[in-house]
C-alpha cells in the first residue's frame, strides 16, 4: 500500500485542509493499492499563494540556472524508470513492459528535450526599432489525466518551469501516485520552494478552484472535451489563458494502393494502444468500400493477437481499462454499435473468459459502420475499432473531416506524394503516414473540439510565454 497523507506546497509536505482521502485501485484486480488526500479549495489557495510568491525570484533566475534543475529532474526520471513504470502499471493498467517503455520513458525523454529547446528559443528579437521579449506567463495551473499520467504532467510542468513559470499541479485522482513520486524527486533535488506545488483531489473541487483562481495566470488542461469546456467557462471570469488538449475521434485512411497486410494490423495497433485509452487513438478505420470484408478479416486476425490480461502478466498485450466507470461506458458503446446495426466482427460485450475480477474488455472490431453511428461520432476510450467504407479519396477525406474533433489521424499508401496530399487535407493536428508515430519535439494538439494550443517542443514552450513590445527611441 502506498498511502500519501500530505500534499506538497511551498517546498513542504503539509496536511490537507480537509480530512478526506481518495482510494487508488489497481484495475487489474480491483484491489486498493494506496490513497491520497482529498484536496480542498483552501489547499489550492495555499498552493497558488506559494507559486505567486515564488514567481518573481524563479522567473528572474538566469535561464541556465533553471535548466540545471530541469536537466537534473530528467536524469532522475530516467534513472528511476523501472520504479515509475511499475507504479503507473499498477495505477492504470498498462502492461508492465510497455509501461516502463512508454509511461516512464516518454516523460523522461520529454523532460530531457526541454533544455535544448529552451536554449535555442528566441526569447528576444528585434523588429525594426522594437525589442520583442518573451516572458513567463506567471502561475500556471496544470490539470492532468490518468491515461498517460506522468507524460502529461511533464509535457506541461517541464517547459513551464524552464521558461520561468511556477506551477500548481492537480493530477488525476484515478492515477495520482506517480505525481507524489515526482514531488519527492523535485523535493530531493532542492527546487526552490513554491516553484512546484501538488494538490490532489476531484475536478469539481480542486480543478475548478484552480481554474477560477484570480492569481492563476494560465490553466493547462488535458482531459475530456466536457471537462475542458467547464475549465474554460470557469477561467473566463478572470480572462485566464486556457490551453486545452481534449478528446479525439481520429480517422485512419487506408488508400487503395496501400499494403493491406501491413496497414490493417498497424491500424488495429494504433487503435488499441493503452487499451484504447488514448485521445489520439485511430478509432475510425476508413477503407475502400469494396474491400470491407477483406479488411474485417485482417482486423479480426490482428485483434486476436492482443492477449488480454493483468498488467503484471508478461503475456498480456492489452491490460484492463482504468476503472469500473470506464468499463461501464465502453460496454454501453459496444452495445450501441450492435443496436445501431454495425457488424460485430470480433469481441463484444462482457469480460473475456477467466477474467472476472478487473476491468477487462474484449478487443472489439465493428465493420460496415456508417459515420453517422454513435460509435463513429463519440469518443469511446476503449479497444473498439470502427471500420467505415468510402468510395474514393475525396469521400475518404470528407468522412475523416466529418467529426467535431481534430486531434490525430493516419494515411496509408505506397505513393508518398498521394498520402501527403491527403494528409494535408485532413483537419487535424497530427497525421501519421504509413504507421509513423508521435515526434515529441513537434507540436501536439488539436483542431475544433480537440482543443486549443500545442504541447511539446518549441511550440509547447511558447504556450507558457507572453510577448512584450518595447519600443526603443529613434537615434
Contacts of 187 (CB under 8 A, 6+ apart): 8, 11, 13
Give the full edge-to-edge strand order of the sheet including 124-127: 124-127, 130-136, 465-471
What phi and psi, each to the nearest 5 degrees, are found at residue 75? -65, -40
Task: Supply the residues annotated as catalytic.
Answer: 245, 279
> What cell numbers appear for 25 in the block?
485501485
Question: Is the distance from CB of 346 to CB of 363 less than 8 angstroms?
Answer: yes
CA gap 110, 290 in Å, rounded: 42
> Taking the C-alpha atoms of 426, 428, 433 and 438 in order, what is their torsion angle to the nearest 10 degrees?
170
Question: Is the distance from CB of 206 to CB of 199 less than 8 angstroms?
Answer: yes
CA gap 283, 348 in Å, rounded: 16
Which among 287, 269, 240, 267 has a CA at the least distance from the CA of 399?
287
Which among 425, 442, 469, 441 has a CA at the least distance from the CA of 131?
469
> What cell numbers appear for 280 in the block?
489520439
Which among 233, 73, 39, 227 has a CA at the least distance from the CA of 146?
227
Chain-centroid distance of CA 211 in Å reads 19
Amino acid at each position: 500500500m502506498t498511502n500519501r497523507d500530505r500534499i506538497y506546497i511551498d517546498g513542504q509536505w503539509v496536511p490537507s485542509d480537509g480530512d478526506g482521502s481518495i482510494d487508488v485501485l489497481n484495475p487489474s484486480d480491483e484491489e486498493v493499492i494506496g490513497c491520497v488526500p482529498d484536496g480542498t479549495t483552501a489547499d489550492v489557495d495555499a498552493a497558488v499563494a506559494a507559486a505567486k510568491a515564488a514567481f518573481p525570484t524563479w522567473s528572474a533566475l538566469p535561464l541556465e540556472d533553471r535548466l540545471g534543475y530541469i536537466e537534473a529532474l530528467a536524469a532522475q526520471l530516467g534513472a528511476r524508470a523501472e520504479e515509475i513504470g511499475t507504479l503507473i502499471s499498477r495505477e492504470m493498467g498498462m502492461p508492465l513492459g510497455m509501461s516502463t517503455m512508454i509511461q516512464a520513458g516518454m516523460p523522461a525523454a520529454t523532460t530531457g528535450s526541454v533544455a535544448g529547446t529552451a536554449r535555442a528559443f528566441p526569447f528576444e528579437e528585434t523588429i525594426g526599432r522594437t525589442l520583442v521579449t518573451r516572458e513567463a506567463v506567471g502561475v500556471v495551473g496544470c490539470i492532468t489525466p490518468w491515461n498517460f499520467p506522468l507524460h502529461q504532467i511533464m509535457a506541461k510542468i517541464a517547459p513551464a518551469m524552464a521558461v520561468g513559470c511556477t506551477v500548481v499541479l492537480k493530477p488525476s485522482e484515478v492515477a495520482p501516485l506517480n505525481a507524489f513520486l515526482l514531488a519527492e524527486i523535485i523535493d530531493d533535488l532542492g527546487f526552490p520552494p513554491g516553484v512546484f506545488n501538488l494538490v490532489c483531489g476531484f475536478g469539481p473541487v480542486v480543478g475548478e478552484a484552480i481554474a477560477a483562481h484570480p492569481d492563476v495566470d494560465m490553466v493547462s488542461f488535458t482531459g475530456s472535451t466536457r471537462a475542458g469546456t467547464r475549465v474554460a467557462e470557469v477561467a473566463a471570469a478572470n480572462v485566464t489563458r486556457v490551453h486545452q488538449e481534449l478528446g479525439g475521434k481520429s480517422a485512419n485512411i487506408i488508400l487503395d494502393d496501400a499494403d493491406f497486410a501491413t496497414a490493417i494490423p498497424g491500424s488495429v495497433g494504433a487503435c488499441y494502444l493503452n487499451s484504447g485509452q488514448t485521445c489520439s487513438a485511430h478509432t475510425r478505420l476508413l477503407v475502400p468500400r469494396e474491400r470491407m470484408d477483406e479488411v474485417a478479416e485482417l482486423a479480426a486476425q490482428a485483434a486476436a493477437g492482443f492477449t488480454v490480461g493483468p498488467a503484471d502478466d508478461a503475456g498480456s498485450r492489452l491490460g484492463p481499462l482504468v476503472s469500473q466507470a470506464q468499463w461501464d461506458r465502453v460496454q454501453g458503446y459496444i452495445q450501441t454499435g450492435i443496436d445501431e446495426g454495425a457488424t460485430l466482427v470480433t469481441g463484444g460485450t462482457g469480460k473475456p473468459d477467466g477474467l472476472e475480477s478487473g476491468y477487462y474488455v474484449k478487443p472489439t472490431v465493428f465493420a460496415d459502420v456508417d459515420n453517422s453511428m454513435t460509435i463513429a461520432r463519440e469518443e469511446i476510450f476503449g479497444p473498439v475499432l470502427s471500420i467505415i467504407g468510402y468510395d474514393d479519396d475525396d469521400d475518404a477525406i470528407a468522412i475523416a473531416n466529418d467529426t467535431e474533433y481534430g486531434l490525430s489521424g493516419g494515411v496509408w499508401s505506397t505513393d508518398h506524394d498521394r498520402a501527403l496530399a491527403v494528409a494535408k487535407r485532413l483537419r487535424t493536428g497530427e497525421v501519421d503516414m504509413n504507421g509513423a508515430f508521435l515526434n515529441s519535439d513537434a507540436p501536439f494538439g488539436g483542431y475544433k473540439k480537440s482543443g486549443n494550443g500545442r504541447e511539446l517542443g518549441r511550440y509547447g514552450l511558447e504556450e507558457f510565454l507572453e510577448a512584450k513590445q518595447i519600443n526603443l527611441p529613434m537615434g
